Amino acid sequence: MRERCNFSAVDKGGRTVMHIIAIHHSKSWNVLNHEYNYEVSLDNTDRVLQWTPLQYAIKSGNWFMVERLLEIIVDRCGLDMIRQRAQNPHYINSIFRHSAEEKYILLLEFLCTIGVNIHHVSSLLH
């Protein structure tokens, strides 16, 4: 993997390997981040939607990747995608439920910063 892959390569739409991993799931992330420690750009936008890997992860509901990307301090402007839907209780409750079950602390903290009443939401989940 180390010698045969160009981790900074882009596809026809300008997506890097991180855009693709953000959509799908975590096994590739673990290999890239923990075993090889490759420096891949996490703030590059694609050429089609102008989205970062964080925005791809949010749109696809891949909360594992959202939390991992937040842990490594990516540009957080992509979180506006969640903020724009903050008044949708079904959407917010599903993020909260998943984040609480998986202990995604940074995502839970973000929900608090946008005014989500964590106590109210958590009472609805019981």
Residue 42: band (very low, low, confident or very high) from pLDDT cuts 50, 70, 90: confident
Assigned domain for 49 exists: yes
Supply the pTM of this predicted model.
0.84
Assigned domain for 101 exists: yes
Among candidate residues 34, 109, 28, 60, the one with its CA nearest the CA of residue 52: 60
Cα 30 from Cα 46, distance rounded (Å): 22
Assigned domain for 9 exists: no
Q: Which of 22-26, 33-37, 46-50, 110-114 has the lowest mean pLDDT?
A: 33-37
Q: Domain limits at 77? A: 17-124
Assigned domain for 93 exists: yes
The total number of structural domains that make up the chain: 1
Average pLDDT over residues 79-94: 93
pLDDT at residue number 73: 78
Assigned domain for 1 exists: no
Assigned domain for 4 exists: no
Alpha helices in the chain (DSSP H): 17-23, 27-30, 53-59, 63-71, 80-83, 89-102, 105-113, 118-124
